[in-house]
Structure 1
Amino acid sequence: MYSSIVRAQNSFGFFTTVVFVVASLIAVSDLLTPRAPAVGTLKTTNVQVVRGRPHYYSSKKEEYAVIKFSLDADLSSLFTWNTKQVFVYVTAEWPATPAVTGTPSNTTLNQAVIWDTIITAPSADHLANIGPAALKKLQKSAAGKSIDPSRGKLSIKNQRPKYQITHPSGKIAETDNVVLKLHYNVQPWVGLLTWNQDVDIGLWKQLKGGLSKKFSLPAIKKKADAKV
């Protein structure tokens, strides 16, 4: 006859097995939901290069770039009943230039995040890092909706960057072939984290657009030019 401890172990083992099977089904259900994220517009609106201390903890002056941009994107298809939140960020990328040869490298990129945001699903609004008034308005707009169709639709005009771009060399002015790129990371309640993909995988389509036109960082404005 089984002891109480053995019965408890068997019950716990059965419970964990059921939980694992249910969690696996929930994670697989994401693969059956189409994803078709798209970016309509991603472009710079103002680009400046300044010499100074980009952060309050910087120990020396260096060149850093400030890039303002506009963005129109529809990431609403990333939100399902299993989506907890979507992390969205924009990077500036440009080819690395080896110091020895002075020629661009096709295999190495400089990449720096200039802006990011977290978009919560209606079921995770309580985790949003916003004020009480904004949270109340957000929850009210999503009341009774398992999937809010407006979530993930971004329309941003002349957005100031959260982060300035620097380089280990301390010089970044007059850099060519710079592009802005949109990235996303889907964080589910159950399952694996997924990032934007470069190819279509079943019902999951690659991000359309998401890349700006190439541009160059300007030279540092001289004091003589500023007076004029």
Structure 2
Amino acid sequence: MHSTIVRGQNVFGFFTTVCFAVAALIAASDLLAPRTPRATVAANAVQVVKGRPHYYSTKKEEYAIIRFTMNADFSSLFTWNTKQVFVYVSASWPNSTSSELTNEAVIWDTIITNPSADHLQNIGPAAMKKGRIDLKNVKPKYQITAPSGKLQETDDVVLKVHYNVQPWVGILTWTPQIEFGKWKKLKGGMSKAFKIPAIKKKDTPKKA
């Protein structure tokens, strides 16, 4: 006969095996739900300032403030296994020292929770619009700087929209670079290239 401890271990082992199998099925079910996100983003106004972008900066450097407009629909990313979606916008531009490298910095981000996660389903239809973002000429949360400390008159800057899906069970998934089954690549999500202007100099009074 098995002792009570051995029987308890067998029951616990069987229980964890069943839990793992159920969790694997739940995670795999995400592959059956189509993902068809789309987004448009455009830069509205760009300003370059020279100073300390953060209170902990030890020296003055050039940093850019990029106001932008974004319209996105991430509602297809929300399934019964989606806990929340992390969305962020980045600015990228060619590296001045190497043609193979690209500078990239995040200028804005947000977290969209599932209506079932924050109990908004009972509020009304407005709560079910989760996953849709409509921003017009908003100020960025973060300023961008360059490793060289210089940003003015930088060419070929583009804004990109990214997302990260956090499920209740399973692995994190990021913005796909290729299409996989019913998961489609983000449609749009990149702005037209623009140029960061020079620092606006203050007008000096003319001598009489």
Taking the TM superposition and a 5 Å limit, the aligned residue runs for 1:98-177 are 98=97, 105=99, 107-125=100-118, 139=119, 141-143=120-122, 149-177=128-156
Query: How much has 1:124 moved relative to structure 2?
Result: 2.3
Query: How much has 1:144 moved relative to structure 2?
Result: 8.3
Gaps of 5+ in 2: none
User: Residue in 1 aligned with 2:76?
Assistant: 77
Distance 1:95 1:150 in 2: 37
2:71–2:133 contact (8 Å) kept in structure 1? yes
Distance 1:226 1:15 in 2: 81
Distance 2:96 2:123 in 1: 53
Distance 2:61 2:81 in 1: 45
Distance 2:161 2:205 in 1: 33
User: Residue in 2 aligned with 1:216?
Assistant: 195
Tell whether 2:79 aligns with 1:86: no
Structure that is richer in helix per residue: 1
Tell whether 2:196 aligns with 1:197: no
Residue deviations 1:147-203, cap 9 Å, x none?
x64111000011110000011211111100000000000000000100111221000
1:37–1:207 contact (8 Å) kept in structure 2? yes
Distance 1:167 1:191 in 2: 36
Distance 2:139 2:204 in 1: 24
Distance 1:8 1:170 in 2: 63
Distance 2:121 2:158 in 1: 35
RMSD: 1.8
User: Residue in 2 aligned with 1:130?
Assistant: none
Structure that is richer in strand per residue: 2
Runs of 4+ that moved beyond 4 A: none
Tell me which amino acid in the other structure corresponds to 1:218.
P
Match of 2:116, SS state, is helix
Distance 2:134 2:123 in 1: 25
Distance 1:223 1:144 in 2: 52
Identity %: 64
User: Residue in 2 aligned with 1:131?
Assistant: none
- Alpha-carbon spacing, 1:15–1:225, altered in 2? closer, same or farther (3 Å): farther
- Alpha-carbon spacing, 1:169–1:84, altered in 2? closer, same or farther (3 Å): same
Give the number of equivalent residue pairs.
Answer: 204
Distance 1:47 1:167 in 2: 15
After alignment, is 167-176 or 81-90 more displaced? 167-176
Distance 1:160 1:52 in 2: 18
- TM-score after normalising by structure 2: 0.94
